């Protein structure tokens, strides 16, 4: 496999065969993300990618899971996505699912008929960085997306048979917009009703250009935020995870069945006295 670093994939795609369809991110101005800084966005040479898919089909014929990298592959024109998925189906007779990153605008650039066609070609899971339901928070971090458009995009994709794994960032509103971040995010997620939901704590890694007025929340406040969002959720059949290394307390469950348990675990942590009320608390060795 020929990859150009940096290359990113969700933790859930650890067992997937990865093909790099594009380099970098077509937006790449989000102030909370340093993944593709310094990487010029571009598409992989189609002939080179086709040859790699055919070769991988000979080497790994039992492959049933594939992940298409990098940032927002759904941004590609439909004709290109169709070609890549068709080649994958031809090379891997046992192919069951393909996953990739997507943004609200890139999903909405496809018609319902096109999304349904992608589903038939084994595109299965879209990883959508939602971050926050607050438009003020999104704008301050230059997300370049409207919260209501992302809600509409997830609903559209799921109505066409695609699954969506939606990610939110705890603490992204800072101290000034904490309450708005919590309330707007919970409200938007209720409208989305995503298949999967992941919560990560925002950690300002070196090199990010944060908003001038951004003040990070403490570890205690981050757990309070997560509790507030979960308390406001009324979801149906959503798998929830907050077990990323950035989170002070690992959580996992299903909505609506495990909502009470999740709140109880968070309440116990908030009462424990172990959370830092003055700073970020325990920081992960790596993200």
pLDDT in tens, 197-241: 999 999 888 888 899 999 999 999 999 999 999 999 999 999 999
Q: Does this model's pTM top 0.85?
A: yes
> Is residue 100 in some structural domain?
yes
> Is the torsion defined by CA of 273, 253, 185, 106 positive or negative?
positive
> Is residue 105 in some structural domain?
yes
> Is residue 230 in some structural domain?
no
Cα dihedral 200, 203, 206, 208, rounded to 10, equals 80
- Residues of the domain holding 104: 11-212
pLDDT in tens, 85-133: 999 999 999 999 999 999 999 999 999 999 999 999 999 999 999 999 9
> Is residue 269 in some structural domain?
no
Residue 124 to residues 82, 120, 195, 270, 277, Cα–Cα distance (Å): 14, 9, 12, 37, 41
> Is residue 137 in some structural domain?
yes
- Predicted confidence band at 36 (pLDDT cuts at 50, 70, 90)? confident
Q: Report the number of distinct structural domains present in the chain.
A: 1
> Is residue 22 in some structural domain?
yes
> Is residue 65 in some structural domain?
yes
The CATH number assigned to the domain holding 153 equals 3.20.20.70
> Is residue 240 in some structural domain?
no
Angle of CA points 10, 11, 12, to nearest 5°: 90
């Amino acid at each position: 496999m020929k990859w150009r670093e940096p290359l990113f994939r969700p933790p859930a795609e650890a067992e997937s065969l990865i093909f790099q369809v594009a380099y970098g991110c077509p937006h790449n101005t989000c102030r909370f993300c340093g993944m593709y800084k310094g990487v010029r966005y571009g598409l992989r040479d189609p002939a080179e990618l086709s040859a790699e898919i055919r070769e991988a089909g000979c080497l790994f014929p039992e492959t049933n899971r594939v992940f298409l990298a990098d940032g927002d592959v759904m941004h590609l024109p439909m004709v290109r996505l169709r070609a890549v998925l068709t080649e994958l189906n031809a090379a891997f007779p046992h192919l069951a699912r393909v996953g990739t990153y997507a943004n609200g605008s890139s999903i909405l650039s496809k018609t319902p008929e096109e999304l349904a066609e992608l589903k038939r070609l084994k595109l299965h899971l879209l990883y959508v960085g939602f971050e926050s339901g607050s438009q003020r928070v999104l704008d301050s971090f230059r997300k370049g997306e409207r919260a209501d458009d992302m809600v509409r995009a997830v609903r559209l994709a799921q109505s066409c048979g695609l699954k969506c794994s939606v990610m939110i960032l705890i603490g992204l509103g800072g101290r000034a917009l904490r309450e708005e971040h919590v309330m707007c995010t919970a409200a938007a997620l209720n409208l989305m009703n995503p298949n999967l939901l992941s919560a990560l704590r925002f950690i300002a890694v070196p090199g990010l250009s944060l908003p001038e007025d951004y003040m990070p929340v403490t570890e205690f406040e981050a757990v309070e935020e997560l509790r507030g969002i979960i308390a406001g959720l009324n979801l149906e059949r959503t798998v929830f995870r907050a077990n990323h290394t950035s989170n002070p307390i690992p959580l996992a469950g299903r909505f609506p069945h495990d909502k009470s348990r999740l709140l109880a675990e968070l309440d116990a942590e908030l009462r424990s006295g172990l959370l830092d009320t003055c700073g970020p608390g325990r920081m992960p060795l790596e993200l």
